Structure 1
């Protein structure tokens, strides 16, 4: 088994409860510094939708969505509509996916990624607040600060880029429904991907 320590769809909940935090409840506030040295808090974005995307560029599941351009397209699609998109990198020092601010900025530029910001969380403080399990692991927070979705980006837990075309995208469902004043059809799913590389 590689350092990626892949989680299967069925084993993703082995180390954590199925629900990190309960959809419909208040999302925990956090404070994090991005790759440009700017501090962000959830509370500063009250009144806006916020997406949290746990990322690890060394993870093949994460690569599936970035190398295909899928994640970048989603970032642009939703930030263009006023959504705050925060990529969170919680790999501990010495672990796969841990990067310096410069390395992250170079990667974002290379991939033409378009998050609002990339938060560096090597101590895992933000990840533990949300009990983030995998990369990717998606969270959607509404303008009132309530969690409306947590879980997988879609229903194809593979590393195959070709699966993206036929995947059902839970993130899009949550944002489209909520912005239309409708209930989110699926508020929680099991995330899939590589385990978050927490600091011991």
Structure 2
């Protein structure tokens, strides 16, 4: 029954986070749960945009994180360079995306941000949705920030320049930047592939693990994964 509920949610989420002419999560294989696209598989034109954005991305694992300045929901500018010397997490955000909602209410974004910011990690959510697109309205972001208990800023990237610079294709899409300003992780928040974990399922929160390893001076064991969720509404 739990699995049926989970699959039902995923099917509904895929429909809810897709707008006309857009792809939602990575292509499904067999069941409703989203799975990574197979190399060489044909892609619809609607799905080509995220791939093109990824190719044009400047951010790469092991390379300096592209600097940016974006306004928060109060219009205050937030500059990445101002946090040099601290570990920074970037979270691509869309309050209208069911995958984001699940991650914040039950999944990998429910407790980890608060736990890590208490340790001194800087956490920044970024909404790269264009004006008029799903989840882009200021009031939606203000409401969701309160409902999800997000104590960290939501930054507005309405032109999508920062999202494209980081190759953000899905919400949530996560990036971890070390104190030297280097990108050390990019991809999914955890191993659930956008779904609710089954009872007893062992879930790996990739971001939490990367932050723990970074704090301990260890090498990052998983540096890159595929993000799952709604397409960023550029």
The equivalent residue for 1:185 is: 221
Which structure exhibits the higher relative contact order, with contacts defined as CA atoms closer than 8 Å and separated by 6 or more residues? 1
Cα-Cα RMSD = 2.3
The answer for unaligned runs of 5 or more in structure 1 is none
Q: Normalising by structure 1, report the TM-score.
A: 0.88
The alignment covers a number of residue pairs equal to 196
The equivalent residue for 1:107 is: 144
Mapping for residues 25-44 of structure 1, pairs under 5 Å? 25-44=63-82
SS in 2 for 1:26: coil
Mapping for residues 11-26 of structure 1, pairs under 5 Å? 11=37, 14-15=51-52, 16-17=54-55, 21-26=59-64
CA distance in structure 2 between the aligned counterparts of 1:33 and 1:164, rounded to whole angstroms:
41
Shift of 1:36: 1.6
The equivalent residue for 1:197 is: 233
Shift of 1:162: 4.7
SS in 1 for 2:70: strand
Where is the strand percentage greater, Structure 1 or Structure 2?
1
The yes-or-no answer on 1:48 pairing with 2:82 is: no
The equivalent residue for 2:129 is: 91
SS in 1 for 2:114: helix
The equivalent residue for 1:150 is: 186
Per-residue Cα deviation, 1:64-87 (whole angstroms, up to 9, x for no partner) = 112226414111011101111000
Contact 2:128 2:159 in 1 (8 A): yes
SS in 2 for 1:191: coil
Contact 1:156 1:163 in 2 (8 A): no
The equivalent residue for 1:131 is: 167
Query: Structure 1 20/135 Cα, relative in aligned 2: closer, same or farther at 3 Å?
Result: farther
Shift of 1:163: 7.3
SS in 2 for 1:184: coil
Q: 2:97 aligns with which of 52, 59, 68?
A: 59
The answer for unaligned runs of 5 or more in structure 2 is 1-14, 27-34, 38-46
Moved more, 69-78 or 173-182: 69-78
Query: Structure 1 10/18 Cα, relative in aligned 2: closer, same or farther at 3 Å?
Result: farther
The equivalent residue for 2:206 is: 170
Query: Structure 1 161/20 Cα, relative in aligned 2: closer, same or farther at 3 Å?
Result: farther
CA distance in structure 1 between the aligned counterparts of 2:162 and 2:70, rounded to whole angstroms:
7
Moved more, 77-86 or 58-67: 58-67
The equivalent residue for 2:43 is: none
